[in-house]
Amino acid sequence: MHKVIYDTDPGVDDAMALLFLHRHPEIDLIGITTIFGNASIETTTRNALFLKREWNIAAPVAKGASVTIDPSRHERPWPTMVHGENGLGDMPVPDVIDLPVDPRPAHRFIIETVRANPGEVTLVAVGRMTNLALALKEDPEIAGLVKDVVIMGGNFYVPGNVSPVAEANIHGDPEAADIVLTAPWKVVVIGLDVTAVTTMSRSYLGDMAAKGDKAVKQLDELSQSYIDFYKHAVEDGMMVHDSCASVYVVAPELFKTITGSVRVVCGGIADGQTVIKPDGRRFPPGDWDGLPSQIVATGIESEKVIGLIRETLLRV
């Protein structure tokens, strides 16, 4: 069993990944922590509570950061053209969900849960890395107590999606991402190199909805405008970014990876760019030296990943 804390900014693709984590028989979802990104922290937290209620998820929800780790960073408008005004593709969601939020801020929830389960917790982070960076700042020892960190973020040998060189989750808080990627824990980086080629078509999702229960039908409903948005890049389908990271937890054999130290560019025209120094490559002394070697996905068996998502979501 993999004990997972899911750090998320729901978010259309975040919602699918949440249902995957909830339904996979080898995953024990022990916490949901929210982060701003696809919408404000109020909205992403409300959405997490909504999905928890609709899908009967037992895991507590803890509310996370509302601003970048360096609060002087300038915030850009929420990506409503991607995830809708309400972060869930504008499906009807009540303003307030009558469920309690964990009293701790997300980063402290992470620290305390990791300390209570030493060596057992996998952090799956599919939004900005702010909560994880805050947890490391407050309690650096947790790096040695976490089992694995799997993140959706970054791009290495392909273009970005919010700038020619940067991916949204990393670009949204580059300083936080650099802290997370250079800390002494094992991070698996599932970036656009693999998520941008892992797409689910509208008809495939529709077929799942026809066979599935209420949760899968809701997923189909909330994904429609996201699929419309992806018209520029995908033929009538969507990239399932965050689900790829969740799939890695249970099926790492479906990914091809390389290892090396990873840094994030902070500032300038390449703000938020992720750069790996692959292990074994020699360069003059530089900013990648002496850092932990992380695992970066460069290949994926997309069809099998999509098939596993389907099989898992249709389990009840």
> Which of 7, 102, 148, 167 lies at the binding interface for ligand BDR (CB under 6 A)?
167
Answer yes or no whether residue 241 interacts with ligand BDR by CB under 6 A.
Answer: yes
Q: Which residues pair with 250 in a beta bridge?
A: none
> Which of 34, 113, 169, 199 lies at the binding interface for ligand BDR (CB under 6 A)?
169
Which amino acid, residue 56?
A: N
CB of 300 to ligand BDR, least distance (A): 15
Q: Which is nearer to ligand BDR, 111 or 176 (CB)?
A: 176
> Which of 14, 173, 175, 193 lies at the binding interface for Ca ion (CB under 5 A)?
14
CB of 98 to ligand BDR, least distance (A): 26
Q: What is the DSSP string of 118-130?
A: TTTEEEEE-S-SH
Q: Which is nearer to ligand BDR, 161 or 198 (CB)?
A: 161
Using CB atoms within 10 Å of the CB of residue 103, give its burial: 0 to 12 exposed, 13 to 18 middle, 19+ buried: exposed
Answer yes or no whether residue 161 interacts with ligand BDR by CB under 6 A.
Answer: yes
CA distance 290 to 308: 37
CA distance 42 to 24: 28
Chain-centroid distance of CA 118 in Å reads 22
Q: Are 114 and 30 in contact (CB under 8 A)?
A: no
CA distance 18 to 8: 9
CB of 5 to ligand BDR, least distance (A): 16
Q: Which is nearer to ligand BDR, 23 or 241 (CB)?
A: 241
241 is catalytic: yes
* String of contacts with ligand BDR for each residue 31-70, x by CB under 6 A: -------x--------------------------------
CB of 270 to ligand BDR, least distance (A): 17
Q: Are 134 and 140 in contact (CB under 8 A)?
A: no
When CB distances are held under 5 to 8 angstroms depending on the partner's kind, the choice from Ca ion, ligand BDR, none that residue 131 binds is: none
Stretch that binds ligand BDR, among 10-18, 27-35, 176-184, 260-268 (CB under 6 A): 10-18
Q: Are 294 and 188 in contact (CB under 8 A)?
A: yes
Stretch that binds Ca ion, among 6-14, 196-204, 276-284, 304-312 (CB under 5 A): 6-14
**Angle at Cα 199 formed by Cα 153 and Cα 60, nearest 5°?**
55
Structural tokens at position 199: 């797409």
Q: Are 279 and 260 in contact (CB under 8 A)?
A: yes
CB of 160 to Ca ion, least distance (A): 15
* Helix, strand counts (H, E) of the chain: 12, 11
Residues belonging to the active site: 241
Footprint of ligand BDR (CB under 6 A): 11, 13-14, 38, 82, 126, 152, 161, 167-169, 241-242
